[in-house]
Structure 1
Amino acid sequence: MKAVRFHEYGGIDVLRVEDVERPGPGPGQLLVEVRAAGIQPGETHIRAGGLHERWPATFPSGQGSDLAGVVVETGAHVRGFAVGDEVLGFTHRRASHAQFVVVDDVNVVSLPQGLPWDVAGSLYVAGTTAYATVFAVDPGPADTVVVSGAAGGVGSLAVQLGRRRGATVIGLASERNHAWLKDRGVVPVTYGEGVADRIRQASGGSVDAFIDTFGDGYVELAVELGVRPERINTIRDWQAAAGVGAGTYGEGAAACAVVLGQLARLAARGELEVPIAGTFPLEQVQDAFRELERQHTHGKIVLRP
């Protein structure tokens, strides 16, 4: 089968699509033919070696956790799934950027009717991260919450989940994404110089919670705005969070099929939109990451093996 591999830490150019042996499922596992697999900002940092102390790579390394596809083989003692079933799920083995992937049966859910492959295959990391970070700051109808990177893969879902809780949500994004945010009941604010004053004006002077999906000084901005540390959560700036006592809850805090299934059903019913910024064939994995690393995508980028 074809699969993404890299043999050393480095830039986008170390990514290769190689012929590798097709795996077989063990007990409690499924072999899934992948129809769509999302890519993540965290994968760029792992590939570059920036997260070696936290998540070291073993070479040659694969990539990918999100996936959606069709079950083509089952191992012994599999529960609830059979060959031919359409599923979405995740793997922690850095292996979904491939034509086939072995997945534990507890890490997949059935594909809800009407959910597109691209959405299903890019929902796990962004969706469970957004779920966790919203849960961490616990916004309610009386709260105003700010979300940085509000049009990105995680941010675009966090703003919607915050609105589902009844909160007033201020989304920091470029002006080209303001219309999308407004259509979903979010108050758009342009990021950049003077953003603190613009947030104060949009919020009426009071901000109760802050979700940072981007890093680059937003934890400090939340403190400047008077947000209590326990209601600040970042998925990017762990050092700043440690300095002020803010939260760092992300995907790992909600990494289960139960949460994924809830999000998938919301998306299938049209109650949660998962924007797709672009799709690329597996062979163009380098181009996909070039687009991602521009940091201006609205929503998710998906590989189609």
Structure 2
Amino acid sequence: MPAIDRMNEDVVLIVDDVPENLSLLYDALDEAGYAVLVATNGESALQRARQSLPDVILLDAVMPGMDGFEVARQLKADADTQRIPIIFMTGLTETEHVVAAFAAGSTDYLTKPIRPSEVLARIAAHVQSARQTQQARSVLDAYGQACVSMRPTDGALLWQTPLARTLLLKYGGPDQQSLVSRIHAWLHIAVASPPPPATLEIMGEEGRMVCALHGLTEEGECLLVLHEESDAAMTKVLVEAFRLTLREAEVLYWVIYGKTNRDIGDILGISHRTINKHLENLFEKLGVETRTAAAAVAMRRLQLPAQTETKKP
């Protein structure tokens, strides 16, 4: 099999146990410029999907052994393959079979007999949608945003940015099921609440993880934004966001919570005059002139609510 050029070719995995279907689809997709992989049973489909990570999967619903529904469930349960769009191909048009397909993780479905022109149109649409979604995730990754997409019906995690994955591991441990179940239970209430929804706070040994509902996608997925609140974590964010020294970030952190210069001096063990010098420097770096303005800029960067200043003891 020739090497796949991932830079110039979209990859389609066809899973079907009928040679005539494979031949028809292979020829149509190959002529349209796709790189085509094939599998004739569920086990080989899972193996090839995990090895090649295709851009879209055409999946036959009814096959001997492992059927398409089980293949889809396993693909969606795997973090490496859960993002791949799955288009079911089936002659089963009864409502319960269509529902089962979507419940298993299908993005779309086609009824047999397969019409190549319709297949090409569906694939093009889903590949483009998946590419745009991936670009959005890449932007979130680049800006260090901790974001999670969760399906509200069953609490399945559809994707996470690297920072979100780190936070979920930190606050949920290797087996994150308990944490995910708690987030799902909160999400069920948050979706039904009038905006803005309440946040969920997960306490840890060194701080807390705050989970907020950012919005719903067109596909009905819930986009959650996570951030960590702890003295050390938030100070680190301020250092990196505004190019502050560690001491300047510590001063700004306590300004956010409404502490006076005397309070900050006592907390950090430095003089009031030194606090003033640090404030002058960070005001210049933030482009502000007052403590209130500095606190507002920092709170927006830390995604803290406006009432934060009154909460910190």
Band of TM-score, shorter chain: under 0.3
The answer to which structure has the higher helix fraction is 2
Specify the structure having the higher radius of gyration (Cα): 2
Question: When the two structures are superposed, what TM-score results if normalisation uses the length of structure 2?
Answer: 0.24
* Highest RCO, 1 vs 2 (Cα 8 Å, sep ≥ 6): 1
